[in-house]
């Protein structure tokens, strides 16, 4: 009968959500895409870094702290002054700009990965 809920359907949905949560936590969903997006952020940061000698641009680094956590940073001693500015120099936030440019890609990345995961799981259950 249309519009009725069956406990079997609820149990299957709960199981699917559990599997989905585990896949997200493990990095099965979004892990590779996350790496790709963050590597793009590094390249954007390098391209937006002011250049005199090239030392500042070569100091841009990316460290993965887990499957869904990364740090984009610059280890050149004067990087903070260039990035944040000083009383005599306007800020040039090349790292912040890079992360803001890629930030919008994350929701779609996870949505697409989750949809593919659900399709694969659903096809296995048939």
- pLDDT in 10s for each residue of the chain, 126 residues: 455 544 556 677 777 778 777 877 777 777 788 888 899 999 999 999 999 999 999 999 999 988 778 999 999 999 999 999 999 999 999 999 999 998 888 788 778 877 887 777 767 665
Q: At a CB cut-off of 8 Å and minimum separation 6, what does 24 contact?
A: 30, 110, 114
| Residue 62 CB burial class (10 angstroms; 0-12, 13-18, ≥19) | middle
CB 114 within 8 A of CB 20: yes
Least Cα distance to 78 among 53, 102, 42 occurs for: 53
DSSP state of 78: T
User: Residue 105: what pLDDT?
Assistant: 81
User: Residue 12: what pLDDT?
Assistant: 72
User: Residue 5: what pLDDT?
Assistant: 47
User: Residue 4: what pLDDT?
Assistant: 53
Least Cα distance to 63 among 93, 35, 21 occurs for: 35
**From residue 41, how far is each of 1, 29, 37, 62, 95 by CA, in Å?**
51, 20, 6, 9, 8
Least Cα distance to 94 among 56, 38, 53 occurs for: 56
Give pTM, 2 decimals. 0.71
């Amino acid at each position: 009968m249309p519009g009725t809920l069956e406990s079997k359907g609820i149990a299957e949905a709960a199981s699917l959500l559990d599997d989905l949560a585990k896949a997200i936590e493990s990095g099965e969903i979004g892990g590779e895409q996350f790496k790709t997006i963050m590597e793009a952020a590094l390249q954007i940061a390098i391209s937006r870094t002011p250049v005199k000698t090239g030392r500042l641009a070569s100091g841009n680094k990316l460290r993965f702290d887990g499957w869904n956590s990364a740090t984009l940073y610059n280890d050149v001693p004067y990087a903070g002054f260039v990035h944040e500015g000083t009383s005599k120099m306007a800020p040039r936030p090349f790292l912040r700009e890079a992360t803001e440019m890629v930030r919008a890609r994350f929701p779609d990345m996870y949505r697409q990965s989750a949809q593919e995961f659900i399709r694969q799981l659903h096809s296995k259950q048939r």
